[in-house]
Amino acid sequence: MAWVLFDKFMEKQHDGNAINLDIGGDTLKCMLITDVRAPVQATDEAMTDIDDNEVSGSNYTPGGATLANQVISLVAGTLKFDVDDITWLQHVTGFTNARYAVKYKSTGTPANDIPICYADLGGNKGNVSGDLALEMAAAGVFTQTNS
């Protein structure tokens, strides 16, 4: 699954308002949203642009899952951001309409929550007939190479 960085996130990382992605840094979450409105890479800058079509159902917490073991590493000129895989456990009254996953900085106030990246799940997914697991790629959520 490929994660697409939001333009406003990339700008913030260089304008003095950087999000701390490392362990002990900012609280990061992953929200699932429906296909009512796809995330817009170029213009979405707060979760209020995105969160009006969040999924709901058993074993899904509003606001999404808190990311665990977020880490930044630098090896041979390549910076990598990674987190643990995320799983929403199966439940008969869960959700079936998750189309996008959005990772964001959570402040507790949606107007101040900052989208970082999103992934298209390739169709509606859910946790009704089994667990929904988002596995992070071996290369991490994203990398940046010094070139």
Query: What are the pLDDT digits (tens) for 110-145?
Result: 899 999 999 999 999 999 999 999 998 878 898 888
Helix (H) / strand (E) element for 124: namely strand 114-125
Contact, 41 vs 77, CB < 8 A?
Answer: no
Give the mean pLDDT of 29-46. 96
Residues 36, 100: Cα–Cα separation, whole Å: 10
pLDDT at 145: 83
Task: Give 145 or 29, the one with higher predicted confidence.
Answer: 29
Nearest to 21 by CA among 66, 72, 68: 72
Percent helix, strand and coil across the chain, each to the nearest 5 = 10, 35, 55
Give the mean pLDDT of 56-75. 94
pTM: 0.94
DSSP conformational letter for 8: H
Q: Where are the domains of the chain?
A: 4-137
pLDDT at 147: 64
Query: What are the pLDDT digits (tens) for 11-28?
Result: 999 898 899 998 888 999
Is 90 exceeded by the pLDDT of residue 91?
yes
Contact, 41 vs 4, CB < 8 A?
Answer: yes
Is 70 exceeded by the pLDDT of residue 146?
yes
pLDDT at 136: 87
